[in-house]
Structure 1
Amino acid sequence: MVAVLCFAAVNAVHARANTLLVVGDSLSAAHGIERDAGWVNLLRQRLGSQHRVINASISGDTTSSGAARLPELLERHAPDIVLLELGGNDGLRGLSPQQMKLNLRDMIEKSQTADARVLLLGIEIPPNYGASYTDAFRGVFRQLSEEYDIPLVPFILDGIALQDAMMQDDGIHPTAEAQPIILDNVWPKLKALLSDDADKP
């Protein structure tokens, strides 16, 4: 009986050490395409059965709504790594970059308090919002990465956003063909986090 309990405890720790939680918006929720074709599912396939990938992304989510639902997600899934992919809807709605920063800061701190490592996935907004706003928006991700010493993917749609063939008709959401590129944009920083976890005693 004791041996069974010990085995269960080891498995629980192992499961936690291999759980990734993606908290994002439509870019991670596979909006407009088959969910299985989305980059998060491609990540699940790349990592294989030794890792559990939880996709808690919701189309239309802002940093405010993401911050509100994060505590329950952390408690339920106990992730080792949290990938934060939020902010695009804040920008498209012209919401305050300062409030966005506060919301993301809250999410970073709650994740770290829950003993999870954080990977920040940045996004850019169109230049028609004005240089002042776009610079402030872009700066939020860089500043938080530096403040909390966490890895940052500066632009998750790098190599995609200006390619018409890679974007859906709305000009906002990437096509299924673009999803492997998104994963390739995320992968180097995520792989480094996974390697660090593998080195832990």
Structure 2
Amino acid sequence: MTGRATALRSAIDLVQAPSRVRVAQSGPLPADVPLLLRVAARDEEALSHAEAASGRSRELIHAAAMFFVEQILLDPRSDSYRILGGDPSTPAPDLRRNMALLLRSLHPDIDPQGDSHAAAARIAQAWNNVKTPERRAAYDAHLAEASPRPGRLLARKRSRRRLPAPKRVAVARRPGLLLRALLFLFRRRRATDGA
């Protein structure tokens, strides 16, 4: 892979070191998220490209793409643009394409036992917020209203320091996917160690 950080590289790094998820959740999205969404949707051409670019197996690449979608894009703090793999400057046709890819990869029919119903609903709501110029303008105004003013941000940070940290349970939103990814990595490591 190239030296610059890509969505694919980020996804593989995150599935191999899940402790980095928190930092990635607050950082900007890589520019090539659409390729990763195509991988998550099992697009054959994208999988072939990702396999050649990374030198990793298709199973790992797909698991990493799904992990990125679930942990970064579908983070509870994500706004509609981020859920759709973009930002406020992303054109509507690109957001629509991303929405379609996300729904293809997370459709409830694919995993009826999982939490894909909730994910599909969040994706649909995100698209609904930005699908027309009028809705997008209203959503942008809502985001501007909701964003903290510089002075209030500092006060909010200070007040957080005084409060005890909430207890967090270290459970992935979709533990089955994380478990499959970890098992895949351990089997691969065991196979290379035994060889």
- For the criterion TM > 0.5, the same-fold answer is no
Q: Which TM-score applies when normalising by structure 2? A: 0.31
From the two aligned structures, give the one with the greater strand fraction.
1
Q: Which TM-score applies when normalising by structure 1? A: 0.30
